Structure 1
Amino acid sequence: MDIGGAALVVVDMQNGFVNHHSRHAVPAVSDMVAQWSAADRPVIFTRYFNYHGSSYERFFQWHRLQEPPETDIVPALTQAAVHAHAVIDKTGYTLFTPDATELIRRAGWTDLVFCGIATESCVLKSAADAFEHGYAPWIVTDASASDAGPDVHDAGLVVARRLIGTGQLVTAEHVMGQLTAYAGATVLE
């Protein structure tokens, strides 16, 4: 992982996706964001917005996340989102909206480190799209969760291994070790 060329992507940590299955990810993501920000590395947040007539309504009859408070970033991360490098609003699964694609290209990031909700959908799709765009995608397995439960989270990780490579799935401890080593190396320069 090239921390010097990496951005942390916090996927859809919104009230409407946090429940008894995914709540444990909030402190894990908060810790990652705090340490990443302390190392002066860029953090991007995504926010999903459903809308009337969306494919989610048409095919799933799913009408949630259309307005606050469901669409709001969880309180534990609200301030971090305010100070983030960017907040990308999206109406689909992926981070790769035209604005985000341009932001990533302009910034010259080579690695995108994903955490958040939901592992099997928005985290997975964003990581797979990063892979297809030529970026090194990383999924932080213990700072991601599924609001549909641990079995669905695990299924998302199985598919991620097939789509982006087993070595691209890492723990928060691994990422923090890389971040600490990077911060130590930059202090010595």
Structure 2
Amino acid sequence: MHQADSSPIRLKQGDALIVVDVQKDFLPGGALAVAGGDKIIPVVNAYIERFIRSHLPVFATRDWHPSHHCSFAAQSGPWPVHCVAGSKGAEFAPSLLLPDTVVLVSTGDTAEAEGYSAFENPKLESRLNNASIQRLFVCGIATDYCVLQTVRDALRLDYQVFLLHDALAAVNIHPQDGLEAERIMADEGARLITLDDLS
């Protein structure tokens, strides 16, 4: 699902990469495993390497839930217990090559708030503003939840957003949920690209 604009994209100052929730609990064998979550990691690493090489910032979000988070089934939420703060399942995937300079953004760390969007943590917008970021490149897990809400908030805040189509994995409770989320993001102004689109 590409939009008509196929011109190559040159990374520049004012760009930032956001890697969403590439955590053990969302990978095969995890508490809330997302099909194909492990398969996107080499592509995510390739994007990270491009940003490091261009001396541009990399942000990594992580679900960091209290043990009684509202999204958990025991609290009448839709999900099994996952990504509890400090747990093994909340750790980033071992094969994810985050730089030492990565900016960590914890989400869902308040028991009563879902925390799907990384912008629910005010640290993210503050750090983006301080770095004079104008364009966001977003990838990760899951397309139909945390990626979707993070991108929608970014667009509402007037960032230009590039959705990294080859580095996404969706929960797909319904088979087309991921594709529908991509359509929504594109309709609201995100441009869907792949690694090959970066010059």
Q: TM-score, normalised by structure 2?
A: 0.78
CA contact (8 A) 1:130 1:137 kept: yes
CA contact (8 A) 1:29 1:116 kept: yes
Whole-angstrom distance in 1 between the partners of 2:47 and 2:186: 22
Structure having the larger proportion of residues in helix? 1
Q: Which residue is 2:125 aligned to?
A: 101
Structure 1 moving runs of 4+ over 6 Å:
none
CA contact (8 A) 2:152 2:185 kept: yes
Specify the code of the residue in structure 2 equivalent to 1:158. Answer: R
Whole-angstrom distance in 1 between the partners of 2:79 and 2:166: 30
Whole-angstrom distance in 2 between the partners of 1:3 and 1:69: 36
Q: TM-score, normalised by structure 1?
A: 0.82
* CA shift for structure 1 position 61: 4.6
Q: Does 1:41 align with 2:56?
A: yes
* CA shift for structure 1 position 76: 1.3
Identity of aligned residues (%): 23
Q: How many residues align?
A: 172
Aligned match for 2:179, one of 141, 146, 154 = 154
Whole-angstrom distance in 2 between the partners of 1:148 and 1:26: 19
Gaps of 5+ in 2: 1-8, 29-34, 109-114
Q: Does 1:6 align with 2:15?
A: yes
SS in structure 1 at match of 2:38: coil
Distance 1:142 1:54, change over 3 A: same
Specify the code of the residue in structure 1 equivalent to 2:118. Answer: L
Whole-angstrom distance in 2 between the partners of 1:126 and 1:50: 17
Whole-angstrom distance in 1 between the partners of 2:92 and 2:57: 18
Gaps of 5+ in 1: 178-189
* CA shift for structure 1 position 100: 1.0
Whole-angstrom distance in 1 between the partners of 2:21 and 2:41: 11
